Amino acid sequence: MTDQPATKPQTANAMWGGRFAAGPDAIMEAINASIGFDKRLYAQDIAGSRAHAAMLAAQGVISTSDAEAIREGLLTVLSEIETGDFPFSTALEDIHMNVESRLKEIIGEPAGRLHTARSRNDQVATDFRLWVRDQTDAAIEGIEALQRAFLAQAEQGADWVMPGFTHLQTAQPVTWGHHMMAYVEMLGRDAARFRDARNRMNECPLGAAALAGTSFPIDRHMTAAALGFDRPAANSLDAVADRDFALEFLSAASICAMHLSRFAEELVIWSSAQFRFVRLSDRFSTGSSIMPQKRNPDAAELLRAKIARILGATVALFTMMKGLPLTYSKDMQEDKEQVFDAADTLMLSLAAMTGMVKDMTANVAVLRTAAASGFSTATDLADWLVRTLGLPFREAHHVTGSLVALAEKKGCDLPDLTLQDMQSVHPGITDAVFTVLGVDNSVASRMSYGGTAPAQVRAQIARWREILG
């Protein structure tokens, strides 16, 4: 498919009608044309036109023979575009006029009946909705593939211990499986947001015409059903002015990209020489042009940055829409490039993250050593003091803090303190305390719903396996 420069401005005038005597100059043509990007809507545009023509024939607005000629001609146009033989023209401004102009060349006079009872306003609103709906379905599919990759990691390491962090400081031991399942939950909310947005966007604008509807006896329920919509949009003004569906898609995409960025940041940290928690595969790592020892997590770093593009598109569309009166304004031509780029970026990000999660290898021994460091079982000790000795939690917290200070002074961890050491801080402590200080004991004890205990992790894995099917 190649863009061809306009050589006959009057071609555009012919499509516009007789209102303008002179054609647009080159600058106006350049700023006005959208075919450079909205040609991506060709399949949706042709599907909408076929549904519209069939409805017009069913309602007796156009003849059956004209509708059949339009149908066959549109299939020819579709084939030409898909095989790269379609001559896109900037003089014809957009995908709608390019398709209609070529249709006229193929079938002649019946092509002029296709635009009966519709406008480019409801046409583009329909095309764009269809495209965003398709991308929403693709996003959900991509999210679920990534969830399955995290589930596989969680299943493999349901009982591997690792440090849990707050403030990027060691907090309490958790399991690898529990950490992986946190992202399954985040992504589950992402998929739910896309599904909710899809439900709201699934109203058909076609038949709203320019803004006020039409006097022709059209059947908007017929075209809505033919295009897979739940119903026609109920207000013609709102139908052509609405871009909420695009804003919701971008909003959901931004939150999803933020989640991907958070895990990408963890991968950058975890794969560093200082942490060595994971090893990324060669497929998602690069070397250095000067330092032969380097193994850079470039894919994760790039994913960490993708949120900027998607969030930028979201802000741009919000800003563009915020000051527009009803109904359609030419400003709204600027809606598509932002959404196109964000959708492409999200799908690439989901695919890349799925590959990284599938391929990454956890360093189980390093995880375990790190889990036991930094007095990670201090909370378990405090809980034991409450349960066994009946201390108020605040007092138990103080006793534990004193024991941590003692361990620091001795240069050891809590489990390495002797019973005598502990009793010097609180005489009621018995040797039973050592049963809660190991990292395995710690994670196994966290049996509350949603906790890090391996049994709880496996229960959540089973729940998500059933949800995802």
Active site residues: 167, 288
CA 241 to chain centre: 25
Q: Which two tokens stand for residue 126?
A: 């329909």
Task: Compute the distance between CA of residue 369 and CA of residue 326 in angstroms, rounded to an integer.
Answer: 63
Task: Compute the distance between CA of residue 355 and CA of residue 341 in angstroms, rounded to an integer.
Answer: 21
119 and 209 Cβ atoms separated by less than 8 Å: yes
Task: Compute the distance between CA of residue 417 and CA of residue 290 in angstroms, rounded to an integer.
Answer: 47
- Spell out the residues 6+ positions from residue 25 whose beta carbon is closer than 8 angstroms to its own: none
Q: Where are the alpha helices (DSSP H) in 360-453?
A: 364-371, 378-389, 393-410, 419-423, 439-445
What is the length of the chain?
469
Examine residue 286 and say whether the peptide bond preceding it is cis (omega within 30 degrees of 0): no
CA distances to 18, 200, 390 from 288, rounded to whole Å, are 63, 48, 58
Strand ranges, E, within 1-107: 2-4, 87-89
Strand 203-204 with 231-232, pairing: parallel
Strand 169-175 with 161-166, pairing: antiparallel
Q: Where are the alpha helices (DSSP H) in 108-167?
A: 120-156
Give me the phi and psi of 202, to 5 degrees please: -85, 50
Three-state secondary-structure class, residue 215: coil
CA angle 174, 180, 185 (to 5 degrees): 110
